[in-house]
Amino acid sequence: RCVFVFCRAFHYDKMNRVCGLLDSTSRSQGVTVHCDILTDLYERKEYVRGCYTGNGSGYRGDKNYTESGLPCQAWGDSEPHDSRYLPSFYPAFDLEGNSCRNPAQEPGEPWCYTMDSNRRRERCGIPRCDEVPCVECRGEHYRGLVDHTDSQRECQRWDLQHPHNHNYTPDRFPNAGLDDNYCRNPNGRMRPWCFTTDPHQPWEYCSIKPGCCASKATRPAMEGRPCLEERGEDYRGRANHTKGGIPCQHWAAQQPHRHTYLEHNYPCSGLDRNYCRNPDGREEAPWCFTLDPSVRRQLCSHIPRCAQPTAGSQCYSGSGTAYRGGVATTRHGLQCQAWNATSPHKPWYTPKSHPGAGLEGHSCRNPDGDPWGPWCFTSDPHLPWDYCSVEACGDNFPLSSLLDSPPGTQFGKHNCGLKHPSKAPLVRIAGGRRSHSPWTVSLRNRKKKHFCGGSLVDERWVLSARNCFVS
């Protein structure tokens, strides 16, 4: 007798490098989850998420009662209602239990036969994945669960480079919510999008319903700066002439130039007048369509920049995209490769591809808006790129303060390795196991967020894993 077995999850034994297939998930009835640092658990998303996409035919969650609270009848039972959808006839729809499904693939949502003899079937009231309380502006802060595009293509994980290579990785955009394969908007496009798993379609927008910002009255205030900082995406000044003195065309107008940069496509971007703006952040400065029929668009680079810190080239502000200092050495002391050179590394940012990013020489720059500051391709063939030895302006804790001891600090080497005499519980980082060793270290970034563990091997030296660092 053949039995159709569903693979709902698998666990990976890191020690023996083997996988074990599982027919249940951590949310299945009767399942108990135990933590084991040597084993990783991977679960199919459709079996653990609590929402559905499309018509719900792909829903594999475990909800087993209707929207009115009636318990669901098992799909394989014939009482109190005869079921047209038996597990043996529809093996691909996971009808082994009594969870809500849509095996008919009919318009609507997941449903089930009920245990009430007077109520044959009822929908289950499961929320759609694209139902969100609010998608503000262009969805830069959207953190919903939609993972399919407008054409129902599945999204590629942001931390993978297959089938499409890209630079929008979680380590380069740690605050953009690039976990898993959910639709996001890390670069300010019209709305959330994702790379697809279709090799022939690199990326698409996602089918996310507009939320509370769909009407002008509920949109957040368009706050911004009257001067330029970085690329000027948040510039909200009243300059309405280009650098060549040509008056700007109103963004809502389609004469003399037709375009799609309309207020409803780029909400919260200040496109309600004819002021210079940079709605998608792709240009090096604010710009506008002009009233000259022979000049379609032009930059407004004459707008004054915001006052820079007095430290000048010795530090950078924000993420450092506006840094134009002359530092050309990485934090590891390596010389930077010229941005227009192709050896020892072939760069993906060049003066030609990013003309406004200051890539004319070999100084440290930040053409992609890396949140950790200026960087460069290195002259070392074994290290493609590295962050630079430039500190953020106004840091209250520069690198030297992490190494130099505060006044009054005393070190006692004779105590190293001994257990703490206190009976109070100590919280340590040791791979998840209990430990009272006093030499474990938490490595944190400038925002004091933990990113790796380490061991204190001397007064001023910490030993950690190489994969904890980008370069």
pLDDT at 437: 55
- Using only C-alpha atoms, the chain has a radius of gyration, in whole angstroms, of 28
Beta bridge mates, 248: 290
Confidence at residue 98, expressed as pLDDT on a 0 to 100 scale: 94
Per-position b or e across 47-64, b if 16+ CB within 10 A of its CB: bbbebbbbebbbbbbbbb
**pLDDT confidence of residue 261:** 93
Q: Are 22 and 11 in contact (CB under 8 A)?
A: yes
CB 28 within 8 A of CB 41: no
pTM of the model: 0.48
- Per-residue tens of pLDDT for the chain, all 471 residues: 444 456 888 988 888 889 989 888 887 778 888 888 888 888 888 788 888 888 888 898 889 999 999 999 999 999 999 989 999 899 888 898 999 999 989 888 999 999 999 999 999 999 887 765 567 777 888 888 888 898 989 999 999 999 999 989 888 888 788 988 999 998 878 789 999 999 999 999 987 765 544 443 334 444 567 888 777 888 889 999 999 999 999 999 999 999 999 988 888 889 999 999 998 878 889 999 999 999 999 999 899 887 654 434 578 887 888 888 889 888 888 889 999 998 898 888 888 888 778 898 899 999 888 878 899 999 888 888 888 988 887 643 333 333 333 344 333 334 444 434 433 444 545 555 555 555 788 888 766 777 788 888 777 788 888 767 755
pLDDT score at 430: 52
CB contact at 8 A, 70 and 118? no
The length of the chain is: 471
Q: Which domains does the chain have, with CATH numbers?
A: 9-47 (no CATH), 308-395 (2.40.20.10), 409-468 (2.40.10.10)
